Structure formats: structure tokens, C-alpha cells
């Protein structure tokens, strides 16, 4: 019997590609998307994506969304307590693992492994150490469609916020920028791709600078 897996879902391309990879594994059954939202803003942290858009993604993927509200601000102790409760509930439902879309940052992987240690949940990393330049091109070739929702202006010009994640964008990235943004250069929102049954209609709203980052506010289309 396939093991039941929750997928940590940021709303971005790496989460979406993880879903595609996991869906092709016969020993895995993805049973839900796990997303944390800041209660004050009802948005995904860092990606700043509105909750209704994430709900639309889950519907397009044919999976239930497990939304976890976080206080704002949220201390690390609060975060770990809340995630501990989520893990206990998942184990009680027969879920065996949580999958993450991390690519190569060893410290982030180690943190996730520590988070799940002793919970009864196995951490899975279906994209681990895939070459990111090749991966970015494969995503685009597959029909994955995404917009940049957050840009770190220390790595990319602010006008990249709201841009389409496509071949033209990859060619314009400075050499120091990871093509998948794994170092935090940018975050994205996926609105179409082989992991969805239908596209999520979106439109780009206001571009704002806040807390040292540039955000493109995506709205339901």
C-alpha cells in the first residue's frame, strides 16, 4: 500500500514540481497540501499569496488544502509548537511522511529533518540536488506557468516582480542568481502546469516594496 504523504505547499514552482514528481511514484500517495498562512494578512509567508489563490491551486490539483494559521509576528517557539500539533494530527490520520521542495540548501534540509525527528513522519525531498538550471528549463518546457510574487532587490531589479517565469526571464537573470531562486532571490506562484487539472485564473495587482522586498500582489482573474 502506498505511503500517505503531505506536501509542504508554498504555492510556488518547486512545490508544484514536487507534486508532479511524487504523483509519478507508485509507492507514494499525496493526500494533501500543507500551507502556513499569517493570520493577520491571510497570505502565504514570503510569497505573500492570498489564501483564495492557494485554495484555487488545491482545487486545480484535486487535493485538500491543510491550512495552518500562524500568528504575526510568530516566534520560532510558537511555530514549532503549532507544527508539532499538525504533525501529531497527521500521524493520527495514518500519514507517514511530509515532502518538501528544497533543492540544495543543506541547512534548510537539516532544519526540516530536526522538525520531524521523533514525530513519526518521514521527511521526503523529491527534488534534492537536481541541477537547477536544467530543472528550471524542464519546468517551463512541461507547461508549468508561474509569476514572480516576491523579489529580493539585492539580487534582482525590482521590475522582475510580477514577471512570468519563462525562458526570457531565465536569460535575463544575472549570473549570480540561481535559476530556481533557491537562495531566496525570488518566490513564485504557479497558475498552470501538468500537476493541475485546469489553470488558476490570475491577474497582477499592485507592486509594493515592504520589509526590504518587492512584492507583486496577485488577484483572482
Other Cβ atoms closer than 10 A to 143: 11
Contact status, residue 150 vs residue 186, Cβ threshold 8 Å? yes
pLDDT value of position 34 = 98
The pLDDT mean for the chain works out to 96
Q: Which domains does the chain have, with CATH numbers?
A: 3-124 (3.40.50.620), 132-220 (no CATH)
pLDDT value of position 84 = 94
Contact status, residue 2 vs residue 26, Cβ threshold 8 Å? yes
Confidence of residue 203 (pLDDT cuts 50, 70, 90): very high
Is residue 47 predicted with pLDDT exceeding 90? no
What residues pair up with 124 in beta bridges, in sequence order?
99
Going from the C-alpha of 141 to that of each of 25, 95, 165, 196, the distances in angstroms are 21, 33, 11, 15
Predicted structure pTM score: 0.96
pLDDT above 90 covers a percentage of the chain that reads 94
pLDDT value of position 73 = 87
Closest by CA to 208, choosing from 153, 170, 166, is 153
Decide: helix, strand or coil at residue 214: strand
DSSP assignments along 40-82, one per residue? TTTEETTT--BHHHHHHHHHHHT--EEEEEE-SS--HHHHHHH
Is residue 66 predicted with pLDDT exceeding 80? yes
Amino acid at each position: 500500500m502506498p505511503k500517505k504523504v503531505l506536501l509542504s505547499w508554498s504555492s510556488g514552482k518547486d512545490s508544484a514540481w514536487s507534486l508532479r514528481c511524487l504523483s509519478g511514484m507508485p509507492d507514494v500517495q499525496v493526500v494533501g497540501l500543507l500551507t502556513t498562512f499569517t493570520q493577520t494578512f491571510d497570505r502565504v509567508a514570503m510569497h505573500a499569496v492570498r489564501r483564495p489563490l492557494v485554495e484555487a491551486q488545491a482545487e486545480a490539483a484535486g487535493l485538500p488544502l491543510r491550512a495552518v494559521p500562524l500568528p504575526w509576528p510568530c516566534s520560532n517557539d510558537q511555530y514549532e509548537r503549532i507544527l508539532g500539533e499538525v504533525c501529531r494530527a497527521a500521524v493520527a490520520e495514518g500519514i507517514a511522511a511530509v515532502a518538501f521542495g528544497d533543492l540544495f540548501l543543506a541547512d534548510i534540509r537539516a532544519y526540516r529533518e530536526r522538525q520531524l525527528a521523533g514525530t513519526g513522519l518521514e521527511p521526503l525531498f523529491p527534488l534534492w540536488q537536481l541541477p537547477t538550471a536544467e530543472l528550471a528549463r524542464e519546468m517551463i518546457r512541461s507547461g508549468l506557468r508561474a509569476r514572480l510574487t516576491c523579489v529580493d532587490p539585492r539580487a534582482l531589479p525590482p521590475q522582475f516582480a510580477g514577471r512570468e517565469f519563462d525562458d526570457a526571464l531565465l536569460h535575463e537573470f544575472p549570473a549570480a542568481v540561481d535559476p530556481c531562486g533557491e537562495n531566496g532571490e525570488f518566490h513564485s506562484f504557479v497558475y498552470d502546469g501538468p500537476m493541475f487539472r485546469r489553470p488558476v485564473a490570475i491577474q497582477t495587482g499592485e507592486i509594493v516594496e515592504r520589509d526590504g522586498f518587492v512584492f507583486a500582489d496577485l488577484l483572482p482573474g
